[in-house]
Amino acid sequence: MYKFGKQAGRLSIALVMLLLLLSGTGFMASANDDPLVQLQGSVDEILKILQSKELQVPEKKDERKQRVLDVVNTMFDFRSMARSSLGQNWNGLTSEERDLFVDLFADLIEQRYIGKIDAYNDQKVIYKEQRVRNDKARVYTAIVDKDLEIPIDYSLHKSQGKWLIKDMKIENVSLIANYRRDFNSIIRKEKFAGLVEKITAQLEKSEKQN
């Protein structure tokens, strides 16, 4: 089974932590238009879910994951991320193929990391600084897990009044660039249909494991 992003082991580890701590970044409507403040508020929201004693019991496991997933779905600009992950290959797709790929890409991110939320163990988030220019922003943070500090930089843009993540760099490794290398390699050999087949197979395997 092809594993997307297999060349970036620490990227995957950091992304697990990212989902655990930041998947609440839904950027819901706020009186404060500051992206860092919205980010921090959403982190608090997801931490409440992860720390809830009621949701930590085994019979609440699925509900706990679903609550996280519900917020994940409002966190990312999946269409922008999917388009960037394909690079120039996006231009050759039909509108139907583009819609299909956006759905698959969103499912790929969700399923890859949603099953890891049980690994949460009081990791902390440090908010360092932000840079905002018009409708674009970058927020610099770090996740601290015991003696390990992992820098995570978020690229966001404003869409319909909300700040949405369109990429992130973990230890200076771009999530989108990482996927783009894998996707382009497959498309060169097996065309777009081959990429769809591989992603679909990986999603089905993950679904069975969860």
Q: Across residues 189-206, what is the average pLDDT?
A: 94
Specify which of 2-11, 104-113, 157-166, 200-209 reaches the highest per-range mean pLDDT: 157-166
Model-level pTM?
A: 0.79
- Residue 163 included in any domain: yes
Percentage of the chain with pLDDT > 70? 77
Say whether pLDDT at 23 is over 90: no
pLDDT score at 31? 41
* 2 in a structural domain: no
112, part of any domain: yes
Overall average pLDDT of the 99-122 stretch:
78
38, exposed or middle or buried, with CB in 10 Å at 0-12, 13-18, 19+?
Answer: buried
pLDDT at residue 92 greater than cutoff 80 = yes
User: Is 75 inside a domain boundary?
Assistant: yes
Across 148-163, average pLDDT = 88
The residue that leads in pLDDT, 89 or 143, is 89
C-alpha span between 137 and 131 (Å, rounded): 6
Q: Name the band, by pLDDT with cuts 50, 70 and 90, for residue 70.
A: confident
Q: Which residue has the higher pLDDT, 142 or 4?
A: 142
User: Going by DSSP bridges, is the β-strand pair 124-133/136-145 parallel, antiparallel, or unpaired?
Assistant: antiparallel
Evaluate whether residue 4 is within a structural domain: no
Q: How far apart are CA 65 and CA 105, in angstroms?
A: 19
CATH of the domain at 41: 3.10.450.710
Q: Choose among 8, 5, 187, 159: nearest CA to 101.
A: 187
| pLDDT at res. 30 | 41
Question: For the chain, what is the domain count?
Answer: 1
Say if 1 falls within a structural domain: no
Q: If pLDDT is split at 50, 70 and 90, which confidence band does 33 have?
A: confident
Q: Where in the sequence is the domain holding 112, given as residue range(s)?
A: 9-205
pLDDT digits (tens, 9 = 90+) for 172-187: 899 999 999 999 999 9
Whole-number pLDDT of residue 124: 78
